[in-house]
């Protein structure tokens, strides 16, 4: 498991780099279609890393889990940086006169940002979908879902929901993410085995699939069908995750481990740097390359500060209530 986690740290770093590229393209005057490719792939990989980790621990054998401890642990893990980030964000809104909805702010504190966007921070939809994935996982464990046909049924239903959602004008892209999350969670050991035994021609097919998806995004060919965009980009993320499990060496690296450890905080802080409303480093007059480097550096610095402050906040809260 230690070796797999080392590999997953590298995959997390690749995923966060893709998401930085995504928003750099989307909020600069570069081709936003390329940004959408990196968005679909990078976000999907982030979700699947989580599904794979929990799948190797619980999913394969459907072991017992302390549901209360899991929920409390996830709230503590996610809530401490998210709530601190939101408090700072709202204070900045108030000080700088940025108009926002208190109702939307409340939704984000409840991890429901998918239904209420804050200025410059629409990326917090990620947390709503992640919570939905956790709920799906706990339900599968609670009812001891059989590994056999269940993963494939979940996947098929998610595809049906995505296609039906587009037909009836309902936002439905998240359903495929939730479906793939459940699939990888239940099939994690099978997925690892298939990934590790991947042949070179299969790897070439995965690369070809991603090249085709990239080309379609670049040419804007997905505009005729949003469901095709969601499904194909999600499949690209799924396939690239498998490809990286196959070819990334199982070696620990302190730098990669550190970056993987702050990847969630980087995800939280970077969007404001791209989209504003306080600042937009992607439009600074240093040229695209240097602007992107500035985005990376500022995101890392703010992520470290956020993670450190959130950790201190948790420790002080524990001391305050007298718990070890």
Q: Residue ranges per domain, the chain?
A: 2-320
Distance separating alpha carbons of residues 309 and 320, to the nearest angstrom: 16
**pLDDT confidence of residue 72:** 87
**pLDDT confidence of residue 147:** 66
**pLDDT confidence of residue 1:** 43
**pLDDT confidence of residue 21:** 93
Q: How far does Cα 66 stand from its chain's mean position?
A: 25
Distance separating alpha carbons of residues 84 and 67, to the nearest angstrom: 25
Two structure tokens written together for 150:
């269940």
Mean pLDDT in the chain?
Answer: 88
**pLDDT confidence of residue 49:** 95
**Mean local confidence (pLDDT), 66-94:** 91
**pLDDT confidence of residue 220:** 82
> Please, what is the end-to-end C-alpha distance for the chain in angstroms?
27
Distance separating alpha carbons of residues 322 and 151, to the nearest angstrom: 43
Distance separating alpha carbons of residues 273 and 301, to the nearest angstrom: 12
**pLDDT confidence of residue 279:** 85
Distance separating alpha carbons of residues 287 and 324, to the nearest angstrom: 50
Q: Is the pLDDT of residue 163 over 80?
A: yes
Q: Is the pLDDT of residue 62 over 60?
A: no
Distance separating alpha carbons of residues 3 and 249, to the nearest angstrom: 9
Cis bond upstream, residue 302 (ω within 30): no
């Amino acid at each position: 498991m230690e070796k797999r986690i080392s590999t997953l740290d590298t995959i997390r770093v690749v995923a966060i780099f893709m998401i930085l590229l995504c928003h750099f393209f989307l909020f600069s005057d570069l081709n936003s279609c390329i940004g959408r490719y990196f968005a679909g792939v990078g976000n999907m990989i982030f979700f699947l890393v989580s599904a794979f980790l929990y799948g190797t621990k619980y999913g394969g054998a459907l072991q017992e889990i302390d549901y209360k401890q899991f929920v409390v642990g996830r709230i503590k893990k996610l809530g401490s940086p998210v709530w601190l980030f939101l408090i700072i964000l709202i204070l900045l809104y108030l000080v700088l006169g940025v108009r926002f909805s208190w109702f939307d702010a409340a939704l984000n504190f409840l991890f429901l940002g998918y239904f209420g966007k804050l200025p410059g921070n629409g990326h917090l939809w990620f947390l709503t979908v992640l919570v939905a994935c956790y709920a799906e996982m706990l339900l599968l464990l609670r009812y001891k879902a059989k590994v056999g046909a269940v993963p494939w049924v979940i996947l098929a239903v998610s595809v049906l929901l995505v296609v039906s959602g587009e037909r009836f004008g309902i936002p439905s892209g998240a359903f495929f993410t939730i479906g793939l999350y459940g699939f990888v969670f239940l099939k994690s050991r099978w997925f690892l085995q298939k990934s590790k035994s991947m042949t070179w021609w299969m790897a070439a097919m995965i690369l070809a699939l991603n090249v085709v998806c990239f080309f379609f995004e670049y040419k804007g060919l997905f505009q005729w069908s949003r469901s095709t965009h969601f499904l194909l980009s999600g499949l690209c993320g799924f396939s690239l995750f498998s490809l990286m499990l196959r070819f990334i060496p199982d070696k620990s690296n302190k730098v990669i481990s550190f970056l993987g450890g702050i990847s969630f905080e980087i995800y939280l802080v970077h969007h404001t740097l791209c989209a504003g409303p306080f600042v937009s480093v992607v439009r600074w007059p240093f040229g695209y390359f240097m602007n992107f480097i500035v985005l990376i550096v500022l995101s890392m610095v703010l992520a470290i500060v956020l993670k450190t402050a959130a950790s201190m906040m948790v420790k002080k809260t524990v001391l305050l209530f007298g718990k070890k």
